[in-house]
Amino acid sequence: MGSHGIRDRVAIISVGCTPFGEHWDLSADDLMVQAVNETLAPVGLTKQDIDAYWLGTAQRSCGITLAKPLELEGKPVSRVENFCATGSEALRQASYAVASGAYDIAMAVGVEKVKDAGYQGLPATQPPNDGTVRNLTAAAMYSMIAPAYAKKYGVGESEIRDALSHVATKNHYNGARNPLAQFKREVSKEQVEKAPKMAGTLGVFDCAGVADGGAAAIVVRAEDAAQYTDKPLYIKALSLVAGNGSGLQDPNYDYTTFPEVVDSCEDAYAQAGITDPRGQLAMAEVHDCFTPTEMVLMEDLGFAERGTAWKEILAGTYDLGGELPVNPDGGLKSFGHPVGASGLRMIFECWLQLRGEAPEQRRLGNDRKLALTHNLGGYPGEMVSFVSILGSELG
* The one among 49, 157, 250, 305 contacting other proteins by CB under 8 A: 250
In angstroms, give the least distance from the CB of 259 to other proteins: 15
| C-beta of 49 vs 116, nearer to other proteins | 116
| Residues catalogued as catalytic | 84, 337
Count of residues in contact with other proteins, rule CB under 8 A: 35
Binding mask 172-211 for other proteins (x = CB under 8 A): -------------------------xxxx-----------
Q: Which CB sits closer to other proteins, 78 or 137?
A: 137
Stretch that binds other proteins, among 16-24, 142-150, 169-177, 262-270 (CB under 8 A): 142-150
Report the residue from 176, 195, 242, 248 that binds other proteins according to the rule CB under 8 A: 248
Question: Which residues, 99 to 118, sit near other proteins by CB under 8 A?
Answer: 117
In the list 68, 151, 194, 231, the residue contacting other proteins (rule: CB under 8 A) is: 151
Of 100, 249, 275, 361, the one binding other proteins (CB under 8 A) is: 249
Check binding of 147 to other proteins (CB under 8 A). yes
Minimum CB–partner distance for residue 150 and other proteins (Å) = 11
Minimum CB separation of residue 117 from other proteins in Å reads 7
Give the span between the Cα atoms of 322 and 304, in whole angstroms. Answer: 13
Which one among 46, 61, 132, 158 touches other proteins, defined by CB under 8 A? 132
For residue 231, state whether it binds other proteins (rule: CB under 8 A).
no
Decide if residue 314 touches other proteins (CB under 8 A): no
Out of 4, 73, 74, 126, name the contact with other proteins by CB under 8 A: 126
End-to-end CA separation in angstroms for the chain = 24
Using the minimum distance from each CB to other proteins, give the nearer residue, 2 or 131: 131
Q: How far is the CB of 205 from other proteins (least distance, A)?
A: 15
> Which residues is 21 bridged to in the sheet?
212
The residue ranges that bind other proteins (CB under 8 A) are: 117, 119-121, 123-124, 126, 128-132, 134-137, 139-141, 143-144, 147-148, 151, 197-200, 248-251, 253, 255, 381
